Structure 1
């Protein structure tokens, strides 16, 4: 009875408020008690309900009043024009590789491996175990969990020559993914307005990070066998650059894997010019026929700053990367990382460490190698059959992608649109060039979902190319 009476009063007062002027005073509590035959407590409950709904406002000692209706008006953000100043140089928008599409399309655009290529069972078990540890409720050290630092150092030290001192755990900084480490490294070692040499084409995320930091990007020609050492030498001499960003193992997007001779020459050049090589070992866990031996394993003089991410190989939900740098460079990078993110989730670090130290991790990588080879060969064969005018200049021995050269007359943007309209999503190669593209390319991911649809995807690409040519 009590609740029914309160609801009756609320409904009655809503009717009264519909015709009342904003700010009108409601009848007194005594009048409402008499009008509704309710107790004072019930009347007060009804008024509290109206106040919670924003219909009335109570002024202690004065009374209760109809709340004035709020009139919607346009937002005035004009002041921000002066506060923000001139618009900076636009940076790349979200890359095609990060776009999501319905499940019924043939997705050849992604930069990540399909879920079935991930160690899902290991990851789920690691999360369960980590949740029962202190990692779930404590802050990790700024440079990372000591055990994970030691693991990254040991992985690199295991392939270091006998005459090269291996890195130690104290040389490692753990980051929340490779993108954060690239930004911190470019900011610390290059600096705003200073030149950074990069392979062309190169990873779009590195281009984005460099643009956001404000460094001056200097392209160095690179192809199926890696960068041109003569062009690299000239770029160092002409620009005075003190850093070169590169992916020596299964480069994204070209798939290039540097020969030992090229690796030696690049190390010689960075030493000669007193510079850093920022080595992005993004595909360390995706070798097919070649094992990865990082250039950083050959250097103990601090010239090579080494980055290895676990995000693609362990799980996209575990954004963890390790950066190995020696000497003052490491301290400067760490200082910048602390200023930006303070520390990396201890929970994610614990999960990553758990996964990569399980005996089943190596078993998973061996099985993954065979799956990647089968997928690569399936897509390669389909392209040769259905896209005869396209050329894969070098079959990658690892990584996730094929770099498909198209006829020079190809309108790549139109081709991408036409393929998408036909249910096939591809990535235009333009996104991987830090300057004007030197040709028409597509980057196609052979580690994506539904490999059985690769032949259909290649057929659509071929048909759309023929439509342009016709």
Structure 2
């Protein structure tokens, strides 16, 4: 090859060389290529750059050029097997939150979701709030990393007690808040105590952070303080995740006498309590207990709240409430993650929460949820007489149904889908083996009362389809 050879010709020659080498083999040095092919340094550099852009080689400054682990030469299919080794064993487990049956077909009555039907959402108020927010001169300016001070003030007022705006960190919804808290508080491999059953997306977030969920049983009054103390002692955990108000999936409310006991146990163990208060605005018309953080004086509680459930799925605005160094740690995590929550959405949330329409919406929503809950409970009792409702909820979006002995919840869930109704298998809500078969059945995502009744009928028919061995 003479001095007039182009970098393209050299690249072609090197491709022939690559076909005889194995992934990881080192190519001749630039000096050796210059000498062998009688070209200049610039020609070699351009040829190597072209091969690197194709993914055929990898350059390592100070070391040399190597055959890529996946030879993605012209016209060939990409081989990504190398990624299995590179990614090691840090897989993100989504089996508890992914639907194994896939999207339901058209006409399916949806009773497995965690969001409200559009008819229950304050869509007109949300649209008006977003329009007003977008018209503000500073709507597209950078938002403070901790969130708009006015919005933090509103969240502090909702929580109550001695919580101040400085104790609030605005997040992109409740799930983002949980992820931030889990990663900020405990290191990979650490245990985290969770109610049993518990919220699957929280279990998934904990595992994605490298934590080990350890279940603590619930009863009709919420998590048991005696078993909680045993779990802290046995595991050395420094973190409890719980939903004290209208727990998902059981709708249990932590009894008044236990609320202080839970905090006492956590303090004695030197542990934090993540209080997921997702259902603060989902009461069915009665009194809603004060959040644990409102009575926390020493920074034990990290409070999580969100507007997504009571408003709409895409109002991804939530908040973390905490005091002390743990808040500084969480602020640092969120700063690294995504810097800040988009300002127009924060402004829209502030518009919604500051409007009299929000209080009217919460009151009307409570009435609608209470009526739907009663309709579905009556229909389930009639259509599935062998099943047992743990409690008639006074808040939240779901019924927790214990199935008759011998029924497999995953089999029934699949059969129900065939009958045109989607419900959630109870086994998804347990960090370990479930003690019995359950279903979580939602009453907020359907169009009306008639769909609730029809959904219960279809569920009963699905159970009958399984025959005596399942019924």
Say if 2:384 is the partner of 1:384: no
- Secondary structure of 2:253's partner? coil
Please state whether the residue corresponding to 1:285 is helix, strand or coil: coil
Answering whether residue 278 of structure 2 is matched by residue 282 of structure 1, we say yes
Q: Counterpart of 2:87?
A: 84
Corresponding residue to 1:406 among 403, 409, 421? 403
1:308 paired with 2:305, answer yes
- The structural deviation recorded for 1:98 is 12
Distance change (3 Å), C-alpha of 1:384 and 1:86: closer
Give the 3 Å change call, closer, same or farther, for CA 103–127 of structure 1 in structure 2.
farther
Closer, same or farther: CA 140–97 of 1 in aligned 2, 3 Å? farther
Q: CA deviation at 1:171?
A: 0.7
Alignment of 1:229-268 (within 5 A): 229-268=225-264
Q: Distance in 2 between matches of 1:123 and 1:190?
A: 37
Q: Does the 8 Å CA contact 2:419/2:461 hold for their aligned counterparts? A: no
TM alignment of 1:449-468, pairs within 5 A: 449-451=446-448, 452-468=450-466
Q: How does 1:433-444 map to 2 (within 5 A)?
A: 433-444=430-441
Hey, what's the Cα distance between the residues in 2 that align with 1:125 and 1:338?
A: 30
Q: Which of 104, 108, 119 is the equivalent residue of 2:107?
A: 104
Q: Quick one: distance in 1 between partners of 2:174 and 2:100?
A: 15
1:44 aligns with none
CA separation of 1:304/1:71 partners in 2, compared to 1, >3 Å: closer, same or farther? closer
Q: Distance in 2 between matches of 1:83 and 1:121?
A: 49
Task: Quote the offset at 1:101 in angstroms.
Answer: 3.4
Q: Distance in 2 between matches of 1:81 and 1:393?
A: 44
Question: Which residue of the other structure, out of 217, 221, 226, is the alignment partner of 2:217?
Answer: 221
Unaligned runs of 5+ in 1: 1-69, 161-165
User: 1:80, CA displacement in angstroms?
Assistant: 2.3
Tell me the alpha carbon deviations over residues 404-459 of structure 1, each in whole angstroms, 9 at most, x when there is no partner: 10023102222111111111111111111111111101101111122312222112
Aligned to 1:126: 129
Q: Distance in 2 between matches of 1:364 and 1:91?
A: 34
Whole-angstrom CA distance in 1 between matches of 2:330 and 2:323: 10
After TM superposition, which residue ranges in structure 1, 4 or more long, deviate above 4 angstroms? 97-100
Instruction: Measure, in 1, the Cα distance between the counterparts of 2:434 and 2:177.
Output: 26
Any stretches of 5+ residues in structure 2 without a counterpart? 1-72
Structure 1 range deviating more: 382-391 or 99-108: 99-108
The structural deviation recorded for 1:243 is 1.1
Shift in Å at residue 183 of structure 1?
1.1
Cα distance in 2, alignment partners of residues 393 and 79 from structure 1: 49
What residue is the counterpart of 2:24 in the other structure? Answer: none
2:96–2:201 Cα contact (<8 Å) kept: no
Answering whether residue 189 of structure 2 is matched by residue 193 of structure 1, we say yes
1:292 to 274, 289, 300: 289
Number of positions where the alignment pairs a residue of Structure 1 with one of Structure 2: 394
What is the CA-CA distance between 1:91 and the residue it aligns to? 4.0
Deviations 1:261-306 (A, max 9, x none): 0111111111222211110000000001232311111112101111
SS in 2 for 1:217: strand
8 Å contact kept, 2:119–2:447: no
**Would you tell me which structure has more helix in proportion to its own residues?**
1
Q: Distance in 2 between matches of 1:124 and 1:320?
A: 15
> Which range moves more in the overlay, 92-101 or 437-446?
92-101
Structure 1 residues 89 and 149, CA, compared in 2 at 3 Å: closer, same or farther? closer
Say whether the 8 Å CA contact 2:178–2:205 is kept in structure 1. Answer: yes
Of 89-98 and 407-416, deviating more is 89-98
Give the whole-Å Cα distance in 2 for the aligned partners of 1:459 and 1:266: 40
RMSD between aligned alpha carbons? 1.8
Tell me the equivalent position of 1:23. Answer: none
Task: Find the counterpart in structure 1 of residue 341 from structure 2.
Answer: 344
Normalising by structure 2, we get a TM-score of 0.80
CA positional deviation for 1:198 = 0.5
